[in-house]
Amino acid sequence: MITLKIDAERVLHKVSPDLMGIFFEDINFGADGGLNANMISNYSFDGVYMTKDYQEVLDPLRYWTLDGGEAESLDEDPLGKNSRFVRIHTTEKARLENKGYNGGKEYADQCAIAIKNGHSYTFEAYIRGTLQVQAVVETEYGTLLTDRVEFTAADGEAAAGTWSHIKKTLQGEQDAYGKLALIFTGDGTIDLDCVQLYDSDFWGKNDPKWQNGKLRKDLVQALVDLKPQFMRFPGGCIVEGARSQNEYNWKETVGPLYDRKSTYNLWAEAMPDGGCSQSYQIGFYEYFCLCEDLGAKPQPTLFAGINCQFRSEEIIDIDSAEFDTYVTQNYLDLIEFANGDPEKSQWAKLRADMGHPAPFGLQRIGIGNENHGEDYIKKFDKIRAAIHERYPEILCIMSAGFQPYKEHTQPFWDYAKTLDHEILLDEHCYHSPAWFYESAYRFDNYDRNVGKAKLYFGEYAANNLSAPEGKVDAEHANSFGSALSEAAFLTGAERNGDFLLSVSYAPLLNLIGGTHWTHNMIDFNPGNVCLTANYMVQKLFGNFQA
């Protein structure tokens, strides 16, 4: 028999008001193919992918197939400053098809554009030329899933330069997965860029701030139901990048979609063809807007001048002009983008021009991800000092490496003792369910004599990664046992709200068939969402926090 005694009169600490958050990284097709409502893969014909040794590959027509006619990729007189486009040459008729995001593995040849009977779908594209165009979604065997729409460039609104913006509505006629077909008729050429197809009932469809990237409504609703108090974004390892110039530069993810610069996603290392790109249709502006809609504090993390230390030895010298202008200044400019006055700041004006004149209320910012070593500590200190000189109210978050063991984290805590500013130290752990059961008491005995520093447990999951057996597999992932162990761990987090301010689970999203990392909170495919047992634990704690 088990006896449970509850002493309701003994209050230890208040639970932190910012305890339960979410962490979004574009892994497992979490952005393109996931949160991004646009179902077209390689929508802008920029096609930036990766080789097995993390080299960039430009493949502008990847995931598009052309029957009849010829296609060429061009960058002369483009739609946007970072944009390539495709030019189709026809003599009578040509047909261009895209199957959407199928994950690129066992479903690589299957159609993945989800159509539902009775739903409306918005088709958008920029075109230039005189050919007649039809757009329709069909099954693999040619069965129509939507009605057809026809148009020419003359039917659209004038856009950048000589381009025309087309926006049409397709009506879903069956429940099935299909492919987008664009049929060009006539003799001549037509230029095409930024092709979009998304459910017209996207998240925030009636809110003018959502005039740029669009979010998939059912996935956002799953996040709303968690009631997160903050959201960390956009990563994760993609913040650091696999190699120089692959790091996440927030400035390339804002503004009109056609001005955003694509890059390869380092998680393409898990793909047979390196086929995972970051189109940045969902960029920093959209992440801030999402935080606002979730009622969650935004918590961006930026590149600290060190590429991913698990994949590269490349760094930017702390004493270089590049570090000052490209690394440190990016932090200061982001704070202006989020919080600044549009009348005084060019970055705040850009935010207003994108549809959000009011500030986002940024309070926290992460400096690097899973970085470690003396060089990182020096870089953190330089960036933190620059931020606090201008914005002393901003709470800076310091990486404490990857392993949750004292020999790894102690140098960061020692540094924290030297500061007169409050900071958060970000510890991570992926371990076995047994470790998480034991760690229900982990935080009870943390040394509180660390100056003004507090703890943030920014990534965790009972996925066995750091366990002695080190085995993470689909058979044992997202089990009732792993979820229960994570719940035990969270009881200790709640109990130590004086010192442990925040926790966030990782990873968040996973496209079935495109998995890069096994054991995730929310599984989905192009038409459905599957909430795991681990999600239910997060929802329980988020909705019923003491």
Looking at residue 451, its amino acid is G
Alpha carbon distance 45, 57 (integer Å): 13
User: Is the Cβ–Cβ distance between 85 and 193 less than 8 Å?
Assistant: yes
Q: What residues contact residue 32 under an 8 Å CB cut-off, 6+ apart?
A: 26, 38, 41, 101, 277, 278, 279, 281, 282
Distance of CA 531 to the CA centre of its chain: 19
Q: How far apart are the first and last CA of the chain?
A: 28
How many helices and strands (H and E) does the chain possess? 11, 27
DSSP state of 291: H
Alpha carbon distance 81, 87 (integer Å): 17
By CB atoms closer than 10 A (0-12, 13-18, 19+), residue 185 is: middle
Bridge-based pairing of strands 500-505 and 20-23 is: parallel
Bridge-based pairing of strands 149-151 and 132-138 is: antiparallel
Looking at residue 27, its amino acid is I
Looking at residue 95, its amino acid is R
User: Is the Cβ–Cβ distance between 537 and 522 less than 8 Å?
Assistant: no
Q: Which residues pair with 133 in a beta bridge?
A: 151, 184
Alpha carbon distance 30, 521 (integer Å): 11
Give catalytic residue positions: 370
Alpha carbon distance 399, 118 (integer Å): 48
Which residue is it, tokens 């044992």? 476
User: Is the Cβ–Cβ distance between 346 and 340 less than 8 Å?
Assistant: no
